[in-house]
Structure 1
Amino acid sequence: MERGSTLFLKLTVILMGIPVLALCIFFVPELAELAAKLLPKFSFINYLVSIIFWASAIPYYFALYQAFKLLRYIDKNEAFSEISVVALRKIKHCAISISALHVLVLPLFYLFAEADDAPGVIFVGCVVPFASIVIAVFAAVLQRLLKEAIDIKSENDLTV
């Protein structure tokens, strides 16, 4: 396969990291301050919110790295190999961990919706966990299909 055939996808994977970095730098501190205003009894809430959102960025960037590696495997004609299955498994685990971390912050979205009288905020808070679960399910399906394709390929290689 041509080396540049996945160039657009690689560029897209790289560009997907920029908005999350901007959110972590600019939006997370403001969200932490808002959480401190909503819950003045809990002085540690701003640190907790910051840590959870920044901690969810770690598996996000790790999943992007795994996706980039997967695209390199495709370029090297190693797409149907065990290392691709491992990369998909890691992407699945990253998506599950992102979803779990964002579920921990859902009560904060509820408190914001109560304070601002805007029930749609709760749905905004559910976007990331549900999107992460969809990615995890998609990665799991691809992992299983790839594993079965590798098994079929190895059986065919043995019969010939």
Structure 2
Amino acid sequence: MKKFAIPVLRFGFIIGAGIVLLICATVLPELAEFYAKIAPEWAYLKYPLLAAIYFTLIPFMAAVFFAMKLTFIIQRREEFSEDAVFCLKAVRICALVLAIMYITGTVILSRLVDISPPIGLLVLLIILASVMVGSFAGILEELLRKVIGYKEEIELTV
């Protein structure tokens, strides 16, 4: 079972990132066009909103990259290293940057137009998921730093 955990996790990262990219490439432009037709007062926001959403792909993909890198570190049995701490820190920062980007975008958008409840709920879910991932990565980062410290202390005593 342990032998398949890392490849399954990598597969999940690849599928998740692929789905997000596929949605951004196909569904979002059509959705923006649809909303521009049914709500002409939002039509001027079509391209700025698409650009902002595409801009949020940068920290998302960076977080996926560092999570994948962490799986390779774990597979090499170097999980108690500074590289693993760096990957967790990078995931934490990317997740929190993503949350800040969506919070800022929501505040700006709410000043321009009324946000519909489904869109607001979706944005809230993205923000909460980003904060949770960032918090969890931060907790793991601190635990890993402590374990590395204990490991170095034990190596010095022996």
Q: What pairs up with 1:1-150 in 2 under 5 angstroms?
A: 5-33=5-33, 34=35, 37-39=40-42, 43=44, 45-107=45-107, 108=109, 111-113=114-116, 119-150=117-148
Counterpart pick for 2:153 among 148, 152, 155: 155
CA-based RMSD of the aligned residues comes to 2.2
Whole-Å separation in 1 of the counterparts to 2:118 and 2:53: 20
Deviation at 1:30, TM superposition (A): 3.6
Deviation at 1:3, TM superposition (A): 7.0
Whole-Å separation in 1 of the counterparts to 2:142 and 2:56: 25
Go from structure 1 to structure 2 and tell me whether the alpha carbon gap of 1:112 and 1:27 turns closer, same or farther (over 3 Å shift). farther
Count residues with an aligned counterpart: 151
Whole-Å separation in 1 of the counterparts to 2:144 and 2:136: 12
Q: Answer yes or no: is the 8 Å Cα contact 1:38–1:111 preserved in 2.
A: no
- Normalized against structure 1, the TM-score is what? 0.83
Identity over aligned residues, as a percent? 28
Partner of 1:80, secondary structure, is coil
Structure 2 alignment gaps of length 5 or more: none
Whole-Å separation in 2 of the counterparts to 1:79 and 1:99: 27
Whole-Å separation in 2 of the counterparts to 1:38 and 1:128: 25
